[in-house]
Amino acid sequence: MVASEATPFCKTGGLADVLGALPPALAAMGDDVAVVLPRYRGVKLAGARLVLEGLPLWIGPGRYTAGIYEVVRDGVSYFLVECPTFFDRDGIYGYSGGEHWDNHSRFAALCHAAIGVARKLFRPDIFHCHDWQAGLLPVYLKHFLHSDHTFQKTRTVFTIHNMGYQGRYGRDQLFWLGLPDTMFRPDLLEFHGEINLLKGGILFSDAITTVSPTYAKEIQTVEHGFGLDGLLRARGASLTGILNGVDYKTWSPETDPHIAAPFTSENLQGKRECKLDLLRYAGLPTDRPEVPLIGIVSRMAAQKGFDLIAAIAADLVHWDIRMTVLGSGESVYEDVFRGLAAACPEKFSISNNYDDALAHKIEAGADMFLMPSRYEPCGLNQMYSLRYGTVPIVHATGGLDDTIDANTGFKFSPYSPEAMLGAMRDALNMYWKEPQRWKALMVEGMGRDHSWGSSAAAYRRLYKSIAG
Ligand code: ADP
Ligand code: GLC
């Protein structure tokens, strides 16, 4: 597998969770799996072995060299690409000033390094590439290596985790990626006057997947295709949706080291302690612990639906609730919650940072988890919430629609402030007025099995169906 993030090495979102859990799930089923990812600044090399030195990487006219470190974790080799020119800097994709200007070259380096790893260290039957950062690998394979006998039988799977991020660059950058200008055609890499690396992955892979069945259908529509819906319809026969799973070793209230007290669906006493602990941690009053606590953990991005919260902010301040939010990203969305916290500090609290321990505390301590995403390819937090008896309130889209139903949570549609308000009111009414039904909802969610087993089995069936 080739990707830009994997827990526990580096993470900005759910992609990392997938790369930290799917490969071990496949390994447990008997497959040989390796993951190639960048060694960004700060990625610890404790326990790593330098397995390859001086791997040459030709990125257009430039020649670079990389070292490859191997960490074996749960039966999977994680190969970390050390190439300081590209990866020894602040931020995985960028920092406060914005995206790194040369991300296309950085991830071209990752793809070249993965091909080098495949030649010298780990010969795969399948390259499984994730998101646009790995989209050049199928392009290089078809373009440069189609007659290289090492890769004659190698097949490619390309998984789309989010259509909203495509890796688009100017035409002149083709040269810097080592690709000929003849690839600048609408039926190749050209897209609205630019090159598009996600399109490259979709076009040149043997199979395409995305991370939920509903999102697989949605991305073939104008509304959710981000301009690539036509291509996805054309490749529809090779496109499937496979739902992500949950790594219950990391996300379970019985064993979670980050939370105040363990709990189970049979004994929910610990959840009350977790709620008090979270209220204290968030600086919210603990005198009326029965008041419903709504949690949010999210990247602050347009995708995540916070414009709906902005639209109902004037109502929210009058409700008898508490809300704690963890998330960072675009300041316009952070400001929505900063505004609420400034207006009613006794009801709303916000942490604008990245804090893994707090993410666990919120999953465990909140009563409800709000995820109003405009679109959501899969979404992991709603599945984590289920496990912790924290009832999800979600917009019925993508993976949220596939994982939440009336027995486990509240769904709204259409995407509107009124519909979200309605679902929140329904949830609060049941919480206050029908405690037995509420508890049944919690317990049902806690018992749902979203472990990786069946998803990993679906990927294996796909790998077998295309194997050379
Ligand atoms: P996405 O990948 O679109 O961000 P997912 O729901 O698939 O959405 O995954 C998000 C992951 O990132 C979850 O593991 C969540 O706990 C984590 N996460 C998001 N924001 C933060 C944050 N500010 N601090 C800690 N973890 C976060
Ligand atoms: C993306 C999507 C999210 C999904 C994650 C892992 O970041 O936004 O819905 O769960 O990838 O596949």
229-259 tens-digit pLDDT: 999 999 999 999 999 999 999 999 999 999 9
Q: How many angstroms separate the alpha carbon of residue 26 from the centre of ligand 1? A: 23
Residues contacting residue 344 through CB under 8 Å, at least 6 positions apart: 317
- Position 46 scores a pLDDT of 86
Q: Which atom of ligand 2 is nearest to the CA of 376?
A: 9
Q: Are 117 and 77 in contact (CB under 8 A)?
A: no
- Position 61 scores a pLDDT of 87
Q: How many angstroms separate the alpha carbon of residue 250 from the centre of ligand 1? A: 14
| Ligand 2 close to Cβ of residue 327 (< 6 A) | no
- Minimum-distance ligand to the CA of 299? 1
| Ligand 2 close to Cβ of residue 390 (< 6 A) | no
Q: How many angstroms separate the alpha carbon of residue 159 from the centre of ligand 1? A: 18
Helix orientation angle between 356-365 and 269-281, rounded to the nearest 10 degrees: 130
Q: Are 41 and 9 in contact (CB under 8 A)?
A: no
Cα–Cα distance, 18 to 399 (Å, whole number): 14
Cα–Cα distance, 292 to 406 (Å, whole number): 19
What domains does the chain contain, in order, with CATH numbers? 14-245+453-466 (3.40.50.2000), 269-448 (3.40.50.2000)
Q: How many angstroms separate the alpha carbon of residue 17 from the centre of ligand 1? A: 9
- Position 11 scores a pLDDT of 95
Q: Which atom of ligand 2 is nearest to the CA of 398?
A: 9
Q: Whose CA is nearest to atom 22 of ligand 1?
A: 354
What is the model's pTM? 0.97
Question: pLDDT tens digits, residue range 119-162?
Answer: 999 999 999 999 999 999 999 999 889 899 999 999 999 999 99
- Position 96 scores a pLDDT of 75
Cα–Cα distance, 78 to 293 (Å, whole number): 39
- Position 459 scores a pLDDT of 98
Q: Are 404 and 337 in contact (CB under 8 A)?
A: no
Helix orientation angle between 306-316 and 417-433, rounded to the nearest 10 degrees: 60
| Ligand 2 close to Cβ of residue 379 (< 6 A) | yes
Over its length of 468 residues, how does the chain's per-residue pLDDT go in tens digits?
999 999 999 999 999 999 999 999 999 999 999 999 999 999 998 899 999 999 999 988 899 999 999 999 999 999 999 999 999 999 999 987 789 999 999 999 999 999 999 999 999 999 999 999 999 999 999 988 989 999 999 999 999 999 999 999 999 999 999 999 999 999 999 999 999 999 999 999 999 999 999 999 999 999 999 999 999 999 999 999 999 999 999 999 999 999 999 999 999 999 999 999 999 999 999 999 999 999 999 999 999 999 999 999 999 999 999 999 999 999 999 999 999 999 999 999 999 999 999 999 999 999 999 999 999 999 999 999 999 999 999 999 999 999 999 999 999 999 999 999 999 999 999 999 999 999 999 999 999 999 999 999 999 999 999 997
- Position 95 scores a pLDDT of 85
Q: How many angstroms separate the alpha carbon of residue 308 from the centre of ligand 1? A: 19
Q: How many angstroms separate the alpha carbon of residue 155 from the centre of ligand 1? A: 31
- Position 206 scores a pLDDT of 98
- Position 60 scores a pLDDT of 85
- Position 14 scores a pLDDT of 96
Q: Which atom of ligand 1 is nearest to the CA of 304?
A: 3
Question: Which residue has tokens 């300081």?
Answer: 84
Burial 26-61 (b: 16+ CB within 10 A, else e): bbeeebebbbbbbbbeebeeeebeebbeebebebee
Residues contacting residue 149 through CB under 8 Å, at least 6 positions apart: none
- Position 327 scores a pLDDT of 96
Mutate to test the pocket of ligand 2, among 12, 244, 246 (most ligand atoms within 8 A of CB): 244
Q: Are 368 and 388 in contact (CB under 8 A)?
A: no
Radius of gyration of the chain (CA): 23
Q: Which atom of ligand 1 is nearest to the CA of 18?
A: 7
Q: How many angstroms separate the alpha carbon of residue 82 from the centre of ligand 2? A: 26
